Structures are given as structure tokens and as C-alpha cells.
Amino acid sequence: MKWSPEPGKFFRERELVAGNRMPMPDIRDKMPPRAFLPRDIAGKIPFEPNAVSEVFRVPLDTAMGKAVASTVAECERAPSQGETKRCATSAEDIVDFAVEMLGSDIVVHSTASTAGSGADIRLGNVTGVHGGKVTRPVSCHQSLFPYLVYYCHSVPKARVYEADITAADSGQKINHGVAICHLDTSDWSPAHGAFIALGGKPGKIEVCHWIFEGDMTWTVAD
């Protein structure tokens, strides 16, 4: 059978309207509990597999060791067209990158909870950040590492939305979600899960997704 992403992981922008019923993917954070290192300590550990393996006693042939190598490789990968990226090894690194990309008047958006995960939900009020204008937000996603590391990137041509999430049948508000819609997918792989789920080809459709637990998106303050 052909692999397909779980229902609701990717969706089209036209689905972000009040009253729409849609599946919510499992947005729960499945990473093991970790914390940031203090910035002065993180800065002393070379960001490369052998050094991390030695400091944290993580053999490179274990699952975590392979995750370390994969995270470092992703951080060192050349940015996609129009993308600016940085792997943040401290909370200060995240804020510094967001300020560098967006200026000092910024706000962070994240989905309020995991309520509704893996079930059908109905959208309540939907609001486009900056009135739904095309922006260049900074999104930060957790990476698997012995300590907390975020892959942050400035996303070209995107719209960010906030939406009340209600129970599909009762209409009771259960969550407040944040979604980002990538308007330019021309540099994405044709094998990306979004195209498997939605159809279409790179550059032909926009792709939206929820901001999962533990992840965040920064924008210029409204």
C-alpha cells in the first residue's frame, strides 16, 4: 500500500473557514522531555556528532546517536530557495534569530493545547494574522537531540492564521490553534507528504499545517 500522511496533517487554505469540519492530526509532542542548556555552556560544545556523543555519552550507533547525526546534517544543509535558517541551541538563540529576521516588535504564536488531537474538529472564528496578508514568519521546530535544539527558519511567502477549535458535534470550544500556509511550494520535493495527501505538484498548490505542541511561529506584532 502507498504511504500517506495521517488525515489532517496537511490541508488547503480554503479549509480555514468558520464552520468547517476537518480531521485534526495528532499534534502532541512525542519528543522525550529535555531542556535548553544555558547559552554559555551550549556555546562550548561543538555542534558536531562526535563531540556531542562524547559529552553526553551517546554512542553514535544507537538511536539517539543516529538522531544526533541526522539533526546536525539537517542544520548544516544548504537553505532552500528563499529560506534563511538557523539551529538554535538556547532560548536566547531563538529570540535573537527572530529579531534578526523580523525586528524587535515581534510576537510568538503557538497552539494552546493538544485538545482535539486525532479527532474530527470544527473551526470556530478564524483570523488571519496581519489581516491575512502574505508575511515572512519565522517558524521553529524541535529537533531530536540530547538537549533542546530548535530548527528555526524564515519562511518566504506564507500566511499565518489563528482559529478557535471546537468539538465537531457539540460546538464547544476546546482549543485555540495556529496554522501556517506555505504559498510557494515550488522548491519542495514532489515526494513530500503534502502532495501525497492533497494531490498537486510543487509550485501548483499552497500547503497548510497546524503548529504542533512544542513548536512556534514568530511574526511582526499586529
pLDDT digits (tens, 9 = 90+) for 94-129: 999 999 999 999 999 999 999 999 999 999 999 999
| pLDDT more than 90, % of the chain | 93
Q: Is 3 among the domain residues?
A: no
In-domain check, residue 96 = yes
pLDDT digits (tens, 9 = 90+) for 133-180: 999 999 999 999 999 999 999 988 999 999 999 999 999 999 999 999
Average pLDDT over residues 38-45: 95
Buried residues in 149-165 as b, exposed as e (16+ CB within 10 A): bbbbbbbbebbbbbbbb
- Position 2 in a domain: no
Is the predicted pLDDT of residue 202 greater than 80, yes or no? yes
- In-domain check, residue 5: no
7: in domain: no
Give the cell for residue 220.
511582526
DSSP state of 162: E
Residue range(s) defining the domain that contains residue 170: 13-220
Rounded to the nearest angstrom, the gap between the alpha carbon of residue 29 and the centroid of all alpha carbons in its chain is 11
Which residues lie below 8 Å from residue 36, measured CB to CB, with a gap of 6+? 42, 89, 90, 91, 147, 148
Q: Which residues lie closer than 8 Å to 103 by C-beta, 6 or more apart?
A: 220
The per-residue pLDDT for 5 is 85
Proportion of the chain above pLDDT 70, given as a percent: 99
Q: What is the pLDDT of residue 155?
A: 84
SS3 state at 209:
strand
